[in-house]
Amino acid sequence: MREKLIALSLLKKGNWEEMAEFIKKDPELNRLDYETSLALTNQLECLVLTLFDDDYPNVWRDMPQPPFVVYLIGDISLLNDDFIAVIGGKSVPPFAKSVINKLIYDKTEDLKIATGSEMGIEEYVIATERFDIQFIGRGFDKTDVGDKLLISEIPPEDVFDLSAFYRSYKLMCELSTAIIIISLSAYDRRSHYLNYLADIGKEIYVVPEIKSRMSKGGLELINKGAKIFFGIDEVGN
C-alpha cells in the first residue's frame, strides 16, 4: 500500500486534492499495479515519508488534510529537533535584515531555523545559509543539500504548484515549535492560516513595524494573541 501511495503521488504530481479524489473513489488503490508502483518508488533518489510510516510526524496526522506523501532531501533527523519557522513578506525592509541577522546569530545550536519559499524575507534567510530546514512548493532540483533538510509534497523535478506552495507553510507551521512573523501583509493569503493558528494557541511572535502597511498582517496577529518578538531568548519561555 505504501508503494502504491507513492506511485499515486508521482502520477498526480503531488497534488493533494487530486490524490484525495482518487483515494475517495479507490480506497485500496486497486487501480494501481503493485510491481509498477514498487519500480517507480525504487527509482526515487530522495527520502520519502508516507502516512503509513512510523516516523511520519503525529502533528501532520492530526491536520484536517494531512500530506499523503512527503519527499525529503538531506538530514532527516532534523525533523526530530525543535525549530522556529521564519515567515515574511515579499519585500525586505532594512529593519527586517537587522532582525534576521540578530536572530540567526543569537540562536543556540540546539534551536533550528526553518523557512519557506525563495522570495522576500525568506529568500534573505536562505541567503545567509544559516537556516536548517526549507519547506518548498516544487520538486527538488538538487540531490545534495549538505547538513540541511528540504521538504516538499511535490515529487523531485516536478514544477512549482501554487496549492503545494501554500500547503508547505501549513506543514512547516504545524511542525514548528514557534513561528516568527516579519513584515507580513494582511492581504497575504498565508495570514488566514496564521490567524487560525493564533486562535488555537500556537506560539507566534511578530516583529512589528507600526508605520508600514506591509506589516499589518503581523499586527493583526498580535490582536489575536501573538507576542511581540523582542529576542530569541524569549521564544519558548
Is residue 18 very low, low, confident or very high in pLDDT (cuts 50, 70, 90)?
Answer: very high
Mean confidence (pLDDT) of the chain: 84
| Cell numbers at 9, concatenated | 503521488
pTM of the predicted model as reported, rounded to 2 decimal places: 0.86
Report which of residues 181 and 221 the model is more confident about. Answer: 181
67 and 94 assigned to the same domain:
no
50 and 94 assigned to the same domain:
no
159 and 215 assigned to the same domain:
yes
23 and 126 assigned to the same domain:
no
Report which of residues 85 and 42 the model is more confident about. Answer: 85
Report which of residues 70 and 183 the model is more confident about. Answer: 70
217 and 107 assigned to the same domain:
yes
Is residue 58 very low, low, confident or very high in pLDDT (cuts 50, 70, 90)?
Answer: very high
Q: What pLDDT is stored for residue 216 in this prediction?
A: 63
With a cut of 90, say whether residue 66 has pLDDT above it: yes
Whether residue 197 contacts residue 168, with contact meaning beta carbons closer than 8 Å, is answered with no
With a cut of 60, say whether residue 212 has pLDDT above it: no
Nearest Cα to Cα of residue 135 among 119, 150, 157: 150
Range of the domain at 53: 2-74
Nearest Cα to Cα of residue 137 among 14, 20, 40, 48: 14
With a cut of 90, say whether residue 114 has pLDDT above it: yes
**Domain tally for the chain?**
2
140 and 25 assigned to the same domain:
no
Residue-by-residue DSSP string for 127-157: HHT---EEEESS--S-S--TT-EEEESSPTT
**Domain end among 57, 74, 91:** 74
122 and 205 assigned to the same domain:
yes
DSSP 81: S
13 and 64 assigned to the same domain:
yes
Query: What percentage of residues in the chain have a pLDDT greater than 90?
Result: 33
